[in-house]
Each structure stands twice: as structure tokens, then as C-alpha cells.
Amino acid sequence: MTDLADGVPDPAGALDTPGRELLAALVSTPSPSGDESEAAARLAGFFAEHGREAWTDDAGNVRAPGDDSVLLTSHVDTVPGEIPVRVEDGDDELGVEGPVLWGRGSVDATGPLAAMAVAAVETGASFVGVVGEETDSRGARHLIEDRDAPETVINGEPSGWDAITLGYRGIVGGEYSVSTPAGHGARPDANAIDHATAWWERVRAAVADENGDAEPGGFDTITATAAAIDGGLADDGSAVTASMATRFRVPPSATPDAVRGLVEGCLDAGEIEWGASIPPHVASPRSTPATALRKGIRGAGGEPTHLQKTGTADANLYAGAWDVPVVTYGPGDAALDHAPDERLPLAEFDRAVSVLETACEQLTD
């Protein structure tokens, strides 16, 4: 590759491998959900330069077919936010020496994406960079409808180079709305805003009861989040309206349907319109991709650990639709996901590439 990372401040010349150059080039290319095309083109170009067929499908995913014993897949999109892209020497807070790449997506999930692209080129494994993971997972949803199942999947999200993520909670979202006739503010009758806030308090109480003594926000709990709220007098003055966008994380002990039922049981006015859901997923630590990744981690000098995350990932969709072993792996500290100080040590990126290459060699033998 040549000059992909031009313009990224790198005083020590650390962007000195094709993988590091690709990582810096992708991080320096803004790719918020819905605007991934430039980054996707750069990613497809990387495969073309290395003799691999690659194209962008109807959803905007970058497809580079190969050995379907394992599909390496991560997401091209990031959350919004600008972080000046540069390479700094060392990081006291992370406790690392050597070059560290700063920039939006360096952890979530451009680091895993670039590591997987390099490993796919080196081993011949299948690869897809999907779009829209941070919003509606439209890329993953298109993929599972548009191609046959591979034998195994390694999904790219930050786990740390020496850890494997086996589980994620699911998610279900709904839009609550209510309307009441307009009236004088001195009247004691509850209006739509009162109904909405009272409903949400009942939902929170019902979720707390369902969770029992479990630590709030833990892997085995339901989490209720109000994402947005709006309300007030209608434009024609005839009614007071209120609406609330809500999101519920679903643990493996529950289902999206069960959570919907719990929330609907709290209604006494208004209605809730549900959107698409993603079920929870927990993989076996004895699955073939988990075993292959552990071999790669040990080969790179690490002692592998297993994680369960309280968020949700495209891995859940792949496991549910394809019924094949799916685990998640990638460089980066997940505590820096979406953070204003997102950054990735380049030595960790290199180790993750090595781990993925070893894992792919095991799975494609």
C-alpha cells in the first residue's frame, strides 16, 4: 500500500505496515452510520490491491468472499464525533508504551475491522464489512438474507487482544405515545405528559422487580433506557401529546417477547409501537472459533479469558439466523467505545492480527 495514511500525524513513523496504514486510513475517514461509503471504498480497495475480489453490495456492505470455513465480519460505521486522528508515543492511563492511534472508531470497531481485513488477506478467509451496526444493523440483516451460512463466524468488536466475547444481551425498542384533550392548566386532570412520565415510572419499577436482587445493569438483567422524549400542546391547540423512545436490553434468561409483555402490562393510557428486536446470544467456550482464538492468543503470548457484554452486537443476529458457532473478538479496550478519548495501542492491533491469522489457519485447515 502507498500513502493511505497520509495526513495522519505520526512523528515516530509507526504506521509502517500495510495493516497499520489501513487502520489509520480508515480511522481518518469519517464513517458515521448512514455515511460509510468512502470508508467502504477504501476497504474494498485494500482487498483489490492484495489480489482479492471485493465489492459493495446493495446495503453498502463490503464483501470479499473466500474460504467459508470462517467468516470474519465487523462493522464499517462508527458513532458520530470527531477526535483528532494522530499517533502518540505511549499512554500512561492505558499503561502501555509505544505508539497509540487516536481517533473515532479506533476501538469500536475500525480496529477489529482492519485487523480482520489483514487476516482475511493473509489466510484467504471470507470477509464482510457491514454497515449500520450502530443504528439498525441493516448491513447484518441484509447479509443473512443475501448469502448462505458460513461454517463459523468471528464477529469483530473490541474484546482486548487476549479475550474472547461469548455473550451479548439482546435489545428491543419501542415508541410510546399518548394524547389527551387540551384543557386549562389550572385543572387537576392528568395530561399526556403526566401519563407518559407515570408510565415510565411503572416500567422502571416493573423492570426492577423482574431483576430482583441482581446488580442493576448486569449481564443477567433487563435494562430500561429512555432514549428521547417529546411532548406539549399540539399545533392546533386541541390536545396535549407526549411520546417517548425507549430501549430495553434483554438478558439470556428472557426473550424480546417477554420484555414486550412486561412493558405493555404497565400501560393504562396510550400505546407503544415496537420496532425490530435482536435476541440475546451466548456461545459455548468449546465452540470451534473460540478454541481457535484461544490457540491464537496463546501463540501470541497471552492467556485467554472469556467475556460477556451487557450491550448487543450483530453476532446475535448471525447466531440466530445461521445456527452456526459465533464468537466475537477484536483489539481495543471496550471502555473506550464511543468515548471522546477513543484510542488503540498499535502493538495490540498487531497482536490481534496475529491471533486472527492463527485462528483462521486452524479453522480453514
Per-position pLDDT tens, the chain of length 365: 445 676 899 988 999 999 999 999 999 999 999 999 999 999 999 999 999 999 999 999 999 999 999 999 999 999 999 999 999 999 999 999 999 999 999 999 999 999 999 999 999 999 999 999 999 999 999 999 999 999 999 999 999 999 999 999 999 999 999 999 987 565 678 999 999 999 999 999 999 999 999 988 899 999 999 999 999 999 889 999 999 999 999 999 999 999 999 999 999 999 999 998 999 999 999 999 999 999 999 999 999 999 999 999 999 999 999 999 999 999 999 999 999 999 999 999 999 999 999 999 999 98
DSSP string, 52-72: ---EE-TTS-EEE--EEEEEE
Would you give the DSSP letter of residue 252?
T
35 tagged catalytic: no
Q: What is the pLDDT of residue 3?
A: 58
Maximum Cα–Cα distance across the chain: 76
Q: Which of 10, 77, 157, 361 is catalytic?
A: 77
79 contacts: CB under 8 Å, gap ≥ 6: 32, 33, 104, 108, 134, 338
Contact indicator for 115, 97 with CB cutoff of 8 Å? no
Q: Which of 21, 36, 133, 361 is catalytic?
A: 133
Task: Judge if the upstream peptide bond of residue 206 is cis by omega within 30 degrees of 0.
Answer: no
Buried b (16+ CB within 10 A) or exposed e, 186-200: eeeeebbbbbbbebb
Would you give the DSSP letter of residue 207?
H
133 tagged catalytic: yes
Buried b (16+ CB within 10 A) or exposed e, 59-78: bbbbbbbbbebbbbbbbbbb
Q: What is the pLDDT of residue 249?
A: 97
Domains belonging to the chain, first-starting first, are: 18-168+280-364 (3.40.630.10), 170-278 (3.30.70.360)
Q: What is the pLDDT of residue 150?
A: 98
Distance CA 262, CA 79 (A): 30
Q: What is the pLDDT of residue 269?
A: 93
